Every structure is written in C-alpha cells, then in structure tokens.
C-alpha cells in the first residue's frame, strides 16, 4: 500500500444531546445530525429526563428547545454549564423569550458549541462530502 493510500483512522463521533418536544422537528434534527456523523443522544421530550441526561451522559454539545412542553429548559442548561458542556438554545420565539436568562449566562469554559460543531462538520465534510467542504458555497 502506497503512503498516499493509507487507511484513514476513524474520527470519534461527537455526542449531541437533542432536547426537543415537537416530534417532527426532533426527527428532522436527529437525521441532520446523523448525516453529519454526530452521535445523537435522544431526542428527549421531557424536562426531568433531559436534566438527568445532562447530568449523567458523556456529551460534547447539546441542542435545547427553550420551551419543552410548556416548561422552560433552563435547568438543563444549568446542568450542562456546571459540567462545561456547550449548548445551543433552539427556539421559534425569537430572542425576547430568553434574552434575560441568556444575558446572565456564563460561557461554558474555553469551548464553544459553534466552534465544536463547525470544526467537526468541516472535518466530516472534507473526509466524506467534498461537495460540502467549501464554506463559501453558503
């Protein structure tokens, strides 16, 4: 085998906690994340279960629906922040719903969810989907 033909070592999948109560949105996000080679933990639709998973699961990042069956997601965000797991709030309500809570939130250590997801997505695209590897295409 020539040096240029060496097998690629598998890249470990990032584990993404997906907390979403709308089944169609959850399934769509789960499929999109799987296509990007993320390991999806969930989807989770109950607040108590989401808090438990945020406290106990090995996670790299989380996507959190702000309104989970009429309950605010902030206890999950607080559990993730305590473990320095980056998270992204997902909402259709706009900034007004969670602006005050987010404004007082502390950053999750030195990692950022956007950087984590973006760098992993770029590595995945370069390896598996060269057509997606060019960031200028968007």
Cα within 13 Å of Cα(81), Cβ side: 14
> Treating both helix axes as pointing N-terminal to C-terminal, what angle do 74-82 and 47-56 enclose, rounded to 10 degrees?
0
pLDDT digits (tens, 9 = 90+) for 127-138: 555 555 554 543
Residue 3's pLDDT band (boundaries 50, 70, 90)?
A: low
Token representation of residue 34 = 């799987």
* Structural domains for the chain: 11-94+104-137 (3.40.50.2300)
Vertex 92: Cα angle to 86 and 94 (nearest 5) = 80
Q: How far from 105 is each of 11, 25, 36, 109, CA to CA, in Å?
A: 32, 26, 28, 12
Q: Give 96 or 65, the one with higher predicted confidence.
A: 65
**DSSP 8-state assignment for residue 20:** -
pLDDT, tens digit, 9 for 90 and up, residues 27-51: 999 999 999 889 999 999 999 999 9
The pLDDT mean for the chain works out to 75
Q: What is the pLDDT of residues 11-25, one digit of tens each?
A: 568 899 999 999 999
132, two tokens? 């997606």
Instruction: Determine if the pTM surpasses 0.85.
Output: no
Section 84-96 average pLDDT: 78
> Residue 54 in contact with residue 29, Cβ under 8 Å?
no
């Amino acid at each position: 085998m020539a040096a240029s033909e060496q097998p690629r070592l598998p890249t470990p999948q990032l584990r993404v906690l997906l907390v979403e109560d709308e089944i169609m949105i959850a399934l769509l996000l789960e499929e999109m994340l799987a296509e990007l080679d993320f390991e999806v933990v969930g989807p989770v639709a109950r607040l108590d279960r989401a808090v438990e998973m945020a406290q106990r699961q090995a996670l790299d990042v989380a996507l959190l629906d702000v309104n989970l069956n009429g309950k605010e997601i902030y206890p999950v965000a607080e559990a993730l922040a305590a473990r320095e797991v980056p998270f992204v709030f997902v909402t259709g309500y706009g900034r007004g719903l969670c602006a005050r809570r987010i404004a007082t939130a502390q950053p999750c250590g030195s990692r950022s969810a956007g950087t984590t997801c973006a760098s992993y997505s770029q590595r995945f695209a370069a390896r598996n989907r060269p057509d997606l590897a060019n960031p200028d295409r968007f």
